[in-house]
Every structure is written in structure tokens, then in C-alpha cells.
Amino acid sequence: MRIFYYILYLVILHVSFFCTFPTPSQAKYSGLQTKQLSVLQRKKRAATADQSRLWPNATIPYEFDKGLPKNLKNLLQNAIHHWENKTCIDFVPKLKHHKDYVVFTTESCGCCSSVGKIGGRQTLSLSSYCASESVAIHELGHVVGFWHEHTRPDRDSYITVLWNNIYKDLHKNFFKRNSFEVNSFGRPYDFASIMHYGPRTFSNGKGDTMVAINGEKMSHQSASLSTEDIIQTQLLYQCPEPECEFLISASTRGRITSPYYPSHYTANVDCQWTVVVPEGI
């Protein structure tokens, strides 16, 4: 991997959804398992359009189920730190006055969560056969209020879903959402999103479950929040916009714009962003 540095000079320019992971017998074909996953992918988030699903003040109360194994608790704590370090989202231990909160637990659904705040007690589940830090970051993305990126209303312009290669009981994880459920804030489709599955996620062994429309090879599921994940979280919760210090992932073709384009920036501000590109380009 090579890292290039660009100095950019700017003058004012609802219903809960569960992300269910496969049973242990299905796990060997899934792209979201315990292996460390690649972050090098190309770059709109499928954020909830239901304002009632947003957490007040971008603050999410939580508690750990008493039976949650220590290793899973550690994964969740690392994932929480990742979200807090990259975005304005704040996870706080549940107190008595918190009526809406998340319980981190282990349930039969595997690795799953509802989308956004549903009211009262809600759960995020991690199971040992599907849990990793990247999966924990992904599931927290659902809690924050994000659907899967590959279920955006406009996804058919970017990917083809190969239904015959997906376990039938897991088809729901690829169902396209409608425009009443999703607000993408006009942001571009993001192959690098932590909320985008890899090309073999939930494969029944017959091959890839998704292919890019342009014929380019899709990389594995991302292991961390992408630039667009961070931007859309800030937009979703109307947080202060960090103007600089972004890490931008780029592919072998396309164009790079300032992270908040076409939004305005402060006049006469010098910004430096790190652009990560595949080796050899």
C-alpha cells in the first residue's frame, strides 16, 4: 500500500431491522467472520430517514448482559472506542433515568441489531462464531441508525445481487430499502462502508453474492469506518463538521473531492488529507 498526501486549498467553496449472521454450519462461506478483514475498497450511506430513531444528543446508553463473555465484551468496548474516536457519537453506561438503552448480549440470532433507537430496552447480540471487532463496529452502525449500504434504493446502479448464491433464509439482508426509509444526504455510494457486505457474505458456496456493475472486483468487508461512514454520521446527527484530518480511500479510477463537497468550508483554510490507494497505481 502506498500513501499519498494531497494539500487541498479551499476557499469558500421505523420498523427494526436485524442483521443476522449465519449459523455455524453456514459460517465458512460468510465474509463477515473472525478473520481480520481488508479495508482497501472503493468508495451514499443508507441512514434511517425516521428522525424518531435517532438518539438524543448523539448519546447512546448501554449495558452489558451479565452473561456476556469477557472476550465479546472486549470486542464491543474496542468497537465503541472506534465509533467515539471517529464520530460525535457518545456511548454512556446506562443510568436509572435512561428509558431507552441498548443491552449487549448473546442471543440465538447470532450477530444482530435493530436499526436506530426503537424505544425502551433493545439488544445488540454478538455470538462467538460470528463475532470480530469489525462485526461489532458494523452492528453498532445499525444501533446508530444505519441500514446496510448495499440495500440503498439506488444500489442497482452499482451492484448486482446474485440471489441464487445466497442462503434463502438470509435473503432479507439484501432486500432493497425504499426512499421513505433511507436518507443518504446526497452522498455517493460507498463500497468501503463498514455497512457494506463483502462479495461472498452469506454465500451458499455457489459463488459471490454481489458483483459490481462496472465489472471491477469487489474487496472484502471493511474492517473500520470509512470516510463516508464518518461524514454521514456527522450529517445524520448534525454534529460539528471536522474540516480536516480525513483519511480518504480511493480506487484505481474515479475522482476525489473534498469530504464534505458540495458543502461550504471556512474561507482561506488549508487542509491536508491522507489518500490511501492500492499498490502500484
Other beta carbons less than 10 A from residue 269's beta carbon:
14
Please indicate if the annotation marks 138 as binding a ligand: yes
Say how far apart CA 67 and CA 107 lie, in whole Å: 11
138 and 228 Cβ atoms separated by less than 8 Å: no
| Ranges of H-type helices in the chain | 70-86, 133-144, 227-236
Q: Which of 63, 107, 139, 181 is catalytic?
A: 139
CA 149 to chain centroid, in Å, comes to 7
Burial classification of residue 202, based on how many CB atoms lie within 10 Å of its CB (0-12 exposed, 13-18 middle, 19 or more buried): buried
Please indicate if the annotation marks 150 as binding a ligand: no
Angle at 165 between CA 200 and CA 192, to 5 degrees: 30
Other beta carbons less than 10 A from residue 275's beta carbon:
16
Say how far apart CA 182 and CA 168 lie, in whole Å: 24
Annotation says 139 is catalytic: yes
Please indicate if the annotation marks 264 as binding a ligand: no
Say how far apart CA 247 and CA 179 lie, in whole Å: 29
> Which residues, 6+ apart, have CB-to-CB distance to 155 below 8 Å?
149, 176, 189
248: β partners: 275
Catalytic residues: 139
Q: Binding site residues for Zn(2+), as ranges?
A: 138, 142, 148
